[in-house]
Amino acid sequence: MSVDITGETARCSISVKDANGALAAPSTSMKVTIYDPHKNVVVNDQAMTPGVTGKYHYDYTIAAGPGEYIVLYVSTDAAGISKHADKFNVKAIP
């Protein structure tokens, strides 16, 4: 992900694929949790916005300070739960 600035919106995006590599929508849910640079939860288990089949996003307005944010994506369907982690960096405005 890119470097963002406090006060801007970071778009957290993910593509979900089936076992054959084709884009697929989870049958139950697609949620996101975001941790700030101090490992505090700033977004907790929120539903993501679907786009075309298998593509999801969540827009987070950066309220905390600079540093590395961790994004945890959780997809739930009949086959079970899948998790994926990502990150983005925030820099302070001089």
What CATH number was assigned to the domain covering residues 3-91? 2.60.40.1930
Strand-pair partners of 72: 33, 85
What tens digit of pLDDT does each residue of 27-75 get?
789 999 999 999 999 999 999 999 999 999 999 998 878 899 999 999 9
pTM as predicted: 0.87
* Confidence at residue 94, expressed as pLDDT on a 0 to 100 scale: 63
Domain boundaries, the chain: 3-91
